[in-house]
Amino acid sequence: MSSIITIRNLKKHYPIFGGVFKRRVASVKAVDGVSLNIFKGETFGLVGESGCGKTTLGKTILRLLKPDAGNIFFDVPESIINEVIELERTNPKSKRLKLLRSQYDIATFSGERLLRLRRRMQIVYQDPTTSLDPRMLVKDIVAEPLVAQGIAKGEEARKLVVDILKKVGLGEQHLYRFPHEFSGGQRQRIAIARALVCRPEFVVLDEPTSSVDVSVRAQLLNLFKDLQKELNLTYMFISHDLSIVECISDRVAIMYLGKINELAPTYKIFKNPMHPYSQALIASVPIPDPKKRKERAPLTGEVPSPVNPPAGCRFHPRCPLVMDVCRKEEPQLFEVEKDHYVACFAVAKR
Amino acid sequence: MTEDSLVAVKNLVVKFYTYAGVVEALDGVNLKIRPGEILGLVGETGCGKSVTSFSILQLVPPPGRIEEGEIYLNVGGKTLDIRSLPKDAIRQIRGKDIAMIFQEPRAYLNPVYTVETQIGEALLTHRKNEFLQKAIEALEKAGKKSSFEKRVYERMLKKPKSLVTKIMAKFCRKKTLMKEVHKEVVELLRSVEIADPERVAKMYPFELSGGMAQRAVIAMALSCQPLMLIADEPTTNLDVTVQAQILNLVRELRKTFKSSILYITHDLGVIAELCDRVAVMYAGNVVESADVYELFEAPLHPYTKALLESIPKPGEEFKSIPGTVPSLINPPKGCRFHDRCQYEMDVCRKIKPEFIEVKKDHFVACHLYGGSK
């Protein structure tokens, strides 16, 4: 399987300004050294509690935010990625590295090149009420990416818009309406149509179902699955609802305080979570079957602030398996089984 | 129906008179909550879950109005008809006999007062005499038998309404009383498993995380050991790990305080984990109510069935309910679910099904089960 997205050691820190001269006094380490691959045609689930950096990671991959460090490769041959990584390790100041990065690494892109890239990667936001302009007609909302990208205008654009609206379950009769005339589920469909109208290859779905009801949620999830098959899409599905992620993703990464703790195929991670945090997270999902009710010890304490994350493993103050080494050193992701990556010293010792 | 229940709601009709039209929010809701049980109330957004709970406390906000129906509360062997009670009497019930927890804790805490002040207010409203007594005892112990402070407290106990008492109370700093209240607040915060309650008591709501704020609100609700606790989606905005903590807490509290709990949520997982009985609401009606095991195993109403099927299961196609929730301004005639129902019959479009007992303790409102009788 070839990967469509490869990110290496990605960092995004939000500055906090303070003092008389409004200097940078600290930073919120929203994404702090994340590496992962997303394969072509898969649905990559990203889960974690609120404030762990899921959305920031998604936006940084799309370059809606500029990363502070790290590489992002989009549809780049593996040999070049390997060369860049090798050069960064051995000779970080070489001209060859600079050239390669400016050509292939999205983290360095700007202006025109970024615009062209955006045609191939899109995002659907959490709340369609705020992500759709209330003063624009549906036909303008959905046609906007076409116009901005210079793909189509006028009658031609209209055809493409109607085409994509039909694909998401709306129709021509909806063209001349405003977003407020639609229900929540329909609004999300408009947002999906807007994201897909210029036929991207990679779409970030940022909690797309958390603002709709249970019965509508299933409709949207089915729509995502159908569209993926039809348009050959790769999804990054960000959510805090583990039961949905379990059903829709092929692989899942669990994030905690800006780091990935565990990454594995869905069936493995839900059947046999290895990181203590993943175990606690998966165990705390309520199961809709009263017979499987169980008394369990939930995770104690609260998520620490990402401004001053704990030294060593970030989970150590709440971890039941904490050891001395956890307080000092930061664990790195390593492959426990095939395709199953965990960042934990306790698991490594086993 | 009223004998064995703590709260009984009969045939409740609530309407909201808006400019867009009359919203028929509740259309004959029947509900009963037995002492010591956790009743789950599930339904989608806008089906009237919250309006039901507001009605029980007579807190339906204008332009809403309770049109018909009866609400009974059984306290200490007496049956009170909440709708006919005067305002003062209802204020005595709110917070003391029936307390409420809301969805967004930070919106319901006053941002300019500390946690301690706010919980203390509830204590001083409903349990003032108890604390006055405690303060007098504390002063006696300290040897200040004839101090001004003690005389004020004694007057407040004996003649709380006299003008002289009020003036005297104004000039007294009531240090001992506040100390007693503080002790109780810290105790309450400890009982909801807040770490370092002394420090948290002095914090303002913005300093608390979502989970902590919800715990503080729960502590406030429990301050008077209510007979019934209404929890209106208390964990919807929280993360799953915090939700698990709060659910454990609610379970523990039920054991220690023996209160009944009306738990409102749209998450069937939470219902399965926590509740003893479930009532399912759809578009202003309770369509089914049963024991939790029974409901999950053998649901009767088509809406309940569809709702249970819409829970995502790995490896299966997602099942959804066709159509959308109807507008309550012009709700469908007859059974309000008929246009989304796969078992729709002629009678469903014309006559509203009655809420009848099909099996023991299993009520359903559907023509399929003889709801037209």
Q: Which residues contact A183 (CB under 8 A, 6 or more apart)?
A: A216, B324
Q: Is B247 on the interface with A (CB under 8 A)?
A: yes
> Letter for the amino acid at A194?
R
Q: What is the full DSSP assignment across A165-208?
A: HHHTT--GGGTT--GGGS-HHHHHHHHHHHHHTT--SEEEEEST
Confidence of residue A296 (pLDDT cuts 50, 70, 90): low
* List of chain B residues whose C-beta atoms are within 8 Å of the C-beta of residue A317: none
- For A101-150, the pLDDT digits (tens) are 888 999 998 888 899 888 999 999 988 888 999 999 999 999 999 999 98
Which residue, B317, B256, B360, B262, is CA-closest to B29? B262
Q: Which pLDDT value is given to residue A261? A: 92
B231 DSSP 8-state letter: E
Q: Do A287 and B273 touch (CB under 8 A)?
A: yes
Give the residue on A whose Cα is nearest the Cα of B277: A290
Distance from CA of B328 to the nearest CA of A (A): 14
Which residue, A183, A190, A141, A187, is CA-closest to A168? A190
CB neighbours of residue A35 within 10 Å = 17
Q: What are phi and psi of B3, to 5 degrees?
A: -65, -50
Give the residue on B whose Cα is nearest the Cα of A213: B44
Q: Which pLDDT value is given to residue B371? A: 57
**Contact present, B129 and B158 (Cβ < 8 Å):** no
Which residue, A110, A96, A64, A76, is CA-closest to A8? A76
Which residue, B3, B10, B12, is CA-closest to B34? B3
Omega prior to B63 cis, within 30 of 0: yes
Residue of B233, B239, B242 to mutate when probing chain A, most A C-beta within 10 A? B239
Distance from CA of B90 to the nearest CA of A (A): 34
Q: What is the full DSSP assignment across A69-102?
A: EEEEEES--HHHHHHHHHHHHH-TT-HHHHHHHH
Q: Which pLDDT value is given to residue A217? A: 85
Q: Number of residue pairs across A and B with CB atoms under 8 Å?
A: 118
> Letter for the amino acid at A83?
E
Please name the member of B244, B272, B318 whose beta carbon is closest to the beta carbon of A288: B272
Q: Tens-digit pLDDT profile for chain B (373 aa)?
A: 446 788 898 889 999 998 888 888 888 898 889 888 999 999 888 788 888 988 888 888 888 889 888 888 888 778 888 888 888 888 888 888 888 888 888 888 899 999 999 999 888 888 888 888 888 888 888 877 778 888 888 888 888 888 888 888 888 888 888 888 999 999 889 888 888 888 888 999 988 888 888 889 988 888 888 888 999 888 877 788 888 888 888 888 888 888 899 999 888 888 998 899 999 999 889 999 999 999 999 999 999 998 888 888 877 777 878 777 888 888 888 888 888 888 888 888 888 888 888 888 899 998 888 755 5
Strands A121-124 and A202-206: parallel
Please check the confidence at residue A1 and state whether its pLDDT lies above 80. no
Q: Which residues of A touch B (CB under 8 A)?
A: 49-50, 183, 185, 213-219, 221-222, 225, 240, 242-244, 246-248, 266-267, 270, 280-281, 283-293, 296, 298-303
Give the residue on A whose Cα is nearest the Cα of B340: A215
**Contact present, B281 and B252 (Cβ < 8 Å):** no
Exposed e or buried b per residue across A170-183, where buried means at least 16 C-beta atoms within 10 angstroms of its C-beta: beeebbeeebeebe
Q: What are phi and psi of A10, to 5 degrees?
A: -75, 135
Confidence of residue A238 (pLDDT cuts 50, 70, 90): very high
Q: Do B325 and A213 touch (CB under 8 A)?
A: yes
Q: Which pLDDT value is given to residue A293? A: 77
Residue of A222, A252, A284 to mutate when probing chain B, most B C-beta within 10 A? A284
**Helix %, strand %, coil % of chain B (to 5):** 40, 20, 35
> Letter for the amino acid at A127?
D
A16 DSSP 8-state letter: E
Q: Which pLDDT value is given to residue A297? A: 65
**Contact present, A149 and A156 (Cβ < 8 Å):** no
* List of chain A residues whose C-beta atoms are within 8 Å of the C-beta of residue B272: 286-290, 292-293
Q: Which residues contact A219 (CB under 8 A, 6 or more apart)?
A: A169, A185, B318, B320
Q: Please list the residues that pair with A5 across neighbouring strands.
A: A38, A74
Give the residue on A whose Cα is nearest the Cα of B211: A302
Distance from CA of B58 to the nearest CA of A (A): 28
Q: What are phi and psi of A8, to 5 degrees?
A: -130, 120
- For A140-161, the pLDDT digits (tens) are 999 999 999 988 888 999 999 9
Please check the confidence at residue A295 and state whether its pLDDT lies above 70. no
Beta strands (DSSP E) in chain B are 7-18, 21-33, 38-42, 64-75, 78-81, 98-101, 228-232, 260-265, 277-282, 285-291, 356-359, 362-364
Q: Which pLDDT value is given to residue B372? A: 53
Q: Do A214 and B44 touch (CB under 8 A)?
A: yes
Give the Cα separation of A174 and A187 in Å (integer). Answer: 11
- For A4-51, the pLDDT digits (tens) are 999 999 999 999 888 888 888 888 889 988 999 999 999 999 998 888
Which residue, B316, B265, B322, B314, is CA-closest to B292? B265
Give the Cα separation of A48 and A241 in Å (integer). Answer: 9
B172 DSSP 8-state letter: -
Secondary structure tally for chain B: helices H, strands E: 15, 12
* List of chain B residues whose C-beta atoms are within 8 Å of the C-beta of residue A214: 44, 266, 268, 307, 310-311
- Chain A contacts in chain B segment 278-337 (CB below 8 A): 292-293, 296, 306-308, 310-321, 324-325
- For A50-101, the pLDDT digits (tens) are 888 889 999 999 999 999 999 999 999 889 998 998 898 888 888 999 899 8
Q: Which pLDDT value is given to residue A6? A: 93
> Letter for the amino acid at B219?
A
**Domains by residue range for chain B, with CATH:** 7-111+204-273 (3.40.50.300), 115-187 (no CATH)
Beta strands (DSSP E) in chain A are 3-18, 23-39, 43-47, 69-74, 121-124, 202-206, 234-239, 251-256, 259-265, 334-337, 340-342
Look up the pTM and report it: 0.84
* List of chain B residues whose C-beta atoms are within 8 Å of the C-beta of residue A188: none
Give the Cα separation of B291 and B276 in Å (integer). Answer: 6
Enter the tokens of residue A92. Answer: 């970080």
* List of chain B residues whose C-beta atoms are within 8 Å of the C-beta of residue A288: 268-269, 271-272, 296, 308, 311
Enter the tokens of residue B245. Answer: 């903590």
Please name the member of A214, A240, A246 whose beta carbon is closest to the beta carbon of B310: A214
CB neighbours of residue A300 within 10 Å = 13
Which residue, B213, B324, B259, B368, is CA-closest to B36? B259
Please check the confidence at residue A323 and state whether its pLDDT lies above 60. yes
**Contact present, A187 and A129 (Cβ < 8 Å):** yes
Give the Cα separation of A234 and A44 in Å (integer). Answer: 8
Please check the confidence at residue A301 and state whether its pLDDT lies above 80. no
Q: Do B269 and A217 touch (CB under 8 A)?
A: no
B207 DSSP 8-state letter: G
Q: Report the run of H or E that residue B110 belongs to, with start and end.
A: none
Q: Which pLDDT value is given to residue B3? A: 61
Residue of A213, A220, A224, A270 to mutate when probing chain B, most B C-beta within 10 A? A213
Give the Cα separation of A4 and A104 in Å (integer). Answer: 13
Please name the member of A183, A219, A248 whose beta carbon is closest to the beta carbon of B320: A219
Q: Which pLDDT value is given to residue B91? A: 86
Secondary structure tally for chain A: helices H, strands E: 14, 11
Tell me the mean pLDDT in the region A294-319.
82
Q: Which pLDDT value is given to residue B1? A: 46
Distance from CA of A66 to the nearest CA of B (A): 28
**3-class SS of residue A269:** helix
Question: What's the CA angle centered on A299, arms A297 and A302, to 5 degrees?
Answer: 150
Instruction: Kindly list the strands in the beta sheet with B64-75, ordered across the sheet, starting from the edge strand earlier in the chain.
Output: B21-33, B7-18, B64-75, B78-81
For B226, how many CA atoms within 13 A lie in the half-sphere containing its CB?
29
* List of chain B residues whose C-beta atoms are within 8 Å of the C-beta of residue A189: none
Of A324 and B238, the one with more pLDDT: A324
Exposed e or buried b per residue across B100-131, where buried means at least 16 C-beta atoms within 10 angstroms of its C-beta: bbbbbbbebbeeeebbbbbbbbbbbebbeeeb
The mean pLDDT of chain A is 89
Dihedral over Cα of A253, A254, A255, A259: its sign:
negative
> Letter for the amino acid at A306?
P
Please name the member of A222, A246, A288 whose beta carbon is closest to the beta carbon of B320: A222
Question: What's the CA angle centered on A188, arms B342 and A73, to 5 degrees?
Answer: 130
Q: Which residues contact B118 (CB under 8 A, 6 or more apart)?
A: B109, B110, B216, B220
Distance from CA of B123 to the nearest CA of A (A): 28
